[in-house]
């Protein structure tokens, strides 16, 4: 708060006082009053006035500077009334009370929408668990009635299962911290589980898999990590041509991390799309060409890895394949590795 701004705000008050003093001075001069007396009146009038204005300016400046500092430094600015001190002057009290009412109303609205979000998430999770029962029944029926049509239906059922799982993990993705268990994970076993899960797609498309260079153990949540890796492997299979594709899964130790990488020789990603593949709902030229992309898989992978404290990188060249890397920082590694 600048002194010039403060005086400008008080300009009308100062102008009125000046005009009154000039009128009084004119009257005193008409009565031929001594100039020394007029000077004394000037001092007695304006010295207390400017002293009061200066003290008021200091008080206002201290409050508004603190107020501005809090606004600039706080991440959650709606909490401002809870950390700022209540001012002692009238205008500040009015501002403080107004902000407090706004904050209270905002908290009530946030609580309302959080409750709605919670109800929606619980409904989605219940729906996913309920729909798994008829899906499992359909799977059993198909297993007991092998036919060409049954295999095609089974392939489509796997897609439905993947989309249902995507819905479930999306609903839970904002609350990973409440639903994870950190434990030691052997990356080799994790990769084998994901490969077995996608075995039918590997066989159907005639894609070879190389995972001999997978080692190391890390600490993370097995359920969320398996979902992330399954999405990455599923994308690699999806965008690799049948009969001539190969996927390599390997690990590499860096000075401060372990990298789990999935490399394919598929169609790759256009350079102009590469920076947006983690955006929500983004499909790009590759996704539109295959017609099956929802644009949610890599978005969820990035969101989940960030909440798990992991890194996720992607490198690709159109026509030459794609490499996706999950980066486990030093703190998530087994000290034995």
Sign of CA dihedral 247, 252, 254, 259: positive
Of the candidates 279, 175, 177, 193, the residue with the CA atom closest to the CA atom of residue 233: 193
What's the CATH number for 180-332?
3.30.565.10
pLDDT score for 285: 62
Q: What are phi and psi of 331, to 5 degrees?
A: -65, -15
Helices assigned H by DSSP within the chain: 3-9, 11-30, 35-73, 80-83, 90-144, 148-172, 187-197, 199-205, 222-238, 271-274, 284-290, 297-307
| Residue of 173, 198, 201, 176 lying closest to 297 (CA atoms) | 173
Distance CA 168, CA 121 (A): 9
pTM recorded for the entire structure: 0.63
> d(Cα 188, Cα 216) in Å, to the nearest integer?
8
Confidence of residue 328 (pLDDT cuts 50, 70, 90): very high
String of b and e for 187-222 (b: at least 16 CB within 10 Å)?
A: bbebbeebbebbeebbeeeebebebeebebbbebbb
Quote the crossing angle between the two packed helices 11-30 and 35-73, to the nearest 10°: 180
Three-point CA angle 160, 266, 276, nearest 5°: 75
**Quick one: pLDDT at residue 290?**
55
Mean pLDDT check: name the lowest of 34-43, 78-87, 261-270. Answer: 78-87
Run of H or E residues at 257: strand 257-264
CA dihedral 74, 307, 299, 187 (to 10 degrees): 160
pLDDT tens per residue across span 120-174:
777 877 887 778 778 778 877 777 777 777 777 877 787 788 788 777 777 777 6
Helix residue ranges per DSSP H, 174-219 = 187-197, 199-205
Share above pLDDT 70 across residues of the chain, in percent, rounded to a whole number: 92
- Residue 56 makes CB contacts below 8 A (sequence gap 6+) with 89
What stretch(es) of the chain map to CATH 3.30.565.10? Answer: 180-332
Is residue 27's pLDDT more than 60? Answer: yes
- The one-character DSSP state at 240 is S
At residue 336 the predicted structure's pLDDT band, cuts being 50, 70 and 90, is low
Asked if residues 227 and 164 have their Cβ atoms less than 8 Å apart, the reply is no
Q: Model confidence over 195-244: pLDDT tens digits?
A: 998 888 888 888 889 988 888 889 988 888 998 999 899 888 888 888 87
DSSP code string of 104-145? HHHHHHHHHHHHHHHHHHHHHHHHHHHHHHHHHHHHHHHHHS
| Residue 164: HSE in the Cβ half-sphere, 13 Å Cα cutoff | 18
Q: What is the pLDDT of residues 72-88, one digit of tens each?
A: 887 777 777 777 788 87
Tokens of 153: 């239906």
* 305 against 156, higher pLDDT: 305
């Amino acid at each position: 708060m600048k002194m010039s701004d403060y005086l400008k705000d008080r300009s009308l008050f100062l102008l009125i006082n000046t005009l009154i003093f000039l009128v009084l001075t004119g009257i005193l001069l008409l009565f031929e009053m001594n100039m020394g007396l007029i000077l004394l009146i000037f001092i007695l009038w304006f010295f207390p006035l400017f002293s009061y204005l200066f003290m008021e300016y200091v008080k206002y400046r201290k409050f508004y500077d603190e107020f501005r500092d809090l606004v600039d430094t706080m991440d959650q600015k709606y909490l401002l009334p809870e950390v700022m001190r209540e001012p002692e002057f009238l205008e500040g009290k009015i501002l403080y009370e107004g902000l407090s009412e706004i904050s209270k109303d905002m908290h009530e609205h946030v609580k309302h929408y959080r409750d709605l979000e919670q109800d929606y998430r619980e409904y989605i999770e219940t729906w996913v668990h309920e729909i798994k029962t008829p899906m499992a029944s359909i799977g059993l029926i198909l297993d007991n009635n092998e036919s060409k049509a049954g295999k095609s239906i089974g392939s489509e059922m796997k897609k439905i299962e993947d989309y249902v799982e995507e819905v479930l993990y999306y609903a839970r993705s904002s609350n990973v911290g409440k639903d994870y268990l950190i434990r030691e994970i052997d990356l080799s076993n994790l990769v084998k589980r994901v490969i077995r899960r996608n075995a039918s797609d590997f066989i159907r498309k005639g894609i070879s898999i190389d995972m001999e260079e997978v080692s190391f153990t890390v600490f993370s949540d097995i359920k969320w990590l398996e979902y992330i890796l399954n999405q990455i492997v599923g994308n690699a299979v999806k965008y690799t041509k049948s009969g001539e594709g190969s996927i390599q899964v390997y690990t590499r130790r860096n000075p401060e991390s372990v990298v789990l990488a999935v490399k394919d020789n598929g169609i790759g990603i256009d350079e102009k799309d590469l920076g947006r593949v983690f955006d929500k709902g983004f499909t790009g030229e590759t996704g539109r060409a295959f017609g099956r992309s929802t644009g949610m898989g890599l978005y969820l992978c990035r969101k989940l890895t960030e909440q798990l404290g992991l890194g996720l990188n992607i490198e690709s060249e159109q026509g030459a394949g794609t490499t996706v890397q999950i980066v486990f920082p030093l703190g998530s590694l087994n000290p034995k590795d």
